[in-house]
Every structure is written in C-alpha cells, then in structure tokens.
Amino acid sequence: MHKLFLFDPHINISYNTVTDILYADWTGNQTKESVIDGCEKILYYLQKEKCKKVLNDNTRVSSIWSDAAEWVAVDWFPRMHQAGCSFFAWVYSPNTYSRLSTDATLSFNIRDVMAITFDSFENAESWLKAV
C-alpha cells in the first residue's frame, strides 16, 4: 500500500508499507534551496517511518543543481545514515546537467549508505526490493 506524504511543486514523497521503501519523486528545475528543502523532508519521513530504503527518482528533473552536491554528500547523507537509511537507489535524470549533479554528489565518496545509480525506475525498485 502506498501512502502519499507530500505533494510539492519540486518533490513528491510517498511510502510503500509492504516493501518498506520511501519514494522521492523530484520534478522540474531544482535550486540549492529546493534540494535542501526536499532532502530535509525526505529525512523527516525516513525517520517517521523508520525505513532503511529510499528510491530517489530524478527522472523528471530538468536542471543542474550541482551547487547543492557537496551539502547533500557531506551534511545530508551522514544524517540519513544516522536516521537508519542503508540503501539509496538513485534514478538518473535524462538531463545531462542533472546527471552531472548526481555524479558530483557521489564523487564525495558517500560512506555508510549504499548509494547506487540507475537509468530506470524499474531497475532501481527491483534492487531495493532485493536488498
């Protein structure tokens, strides 16, 4: 069963109670501020549901957001780990600049959370269901 927690212009967050996966569906142009806001909301719902798996879907992201990359890697991911996140499936955007932003984030060598990138939502979800 899917519970929709948040429906915002830049991010939708839902939770599947059966698979214990938190879904973050990012939309449109992202700024450093919208990324930080969305990430804080993901962290809030991860803590609320006490889940270990996140599917971070950037399929509909249409802009670069690399100015937030270091904050995501150095500040947010450690707090996600402390909150219980173990597995993070990250679906690439088809937008080249958004993909580069994702890669910039991961270049900071995130520890303690297994963060894997995927080109499709289906593959990301399958991996999370298997771990």
What pLDDT does residue 1 have?
86
- Position 85 scores a pLDDT of 98
Q: How far apart are the first and last CA of the chain?
A: 19
Could you identify the residue written with the tokens 């501020």? 33
- Residue 123 to residue 128: CA distance in whole angstroms: 9
Could you report the per-residue pLDDT of 84-113, keeping only the tens digit for each? 999 999 999 999 999 999 999 999 989 999
User: Span 33-48, mean pLDDT?
Assistant: 98
Q: What is the pTM of this model?
A: 0.96
**Phi, psi (deg, nearest 5) at residue 19:** -90, -10
User: Mean pLDDT over residues 68-93, rounded?
Assistant: 98
Return the CATH fold of 2-130.
Answer: Transcription Regulator spoIIAA (3.30.750)
Q: Is the dihedral of CA 108, 71, 82, 52 positive or negative?
A: negative
Q: How many CB atoms lie within 10 A of CB 35?
A: 24
Backbone φ and ψ of 35, nearest 5°: -65, -45
Q: What are phi and psi of 93, to 5 degrees?
A: -80, 150
Mean pLDDT of 62-75: 97
pLDDT tens per residue, range 54-67: 999 999 999 999 99
Mean of pLDDT over the chain: 97
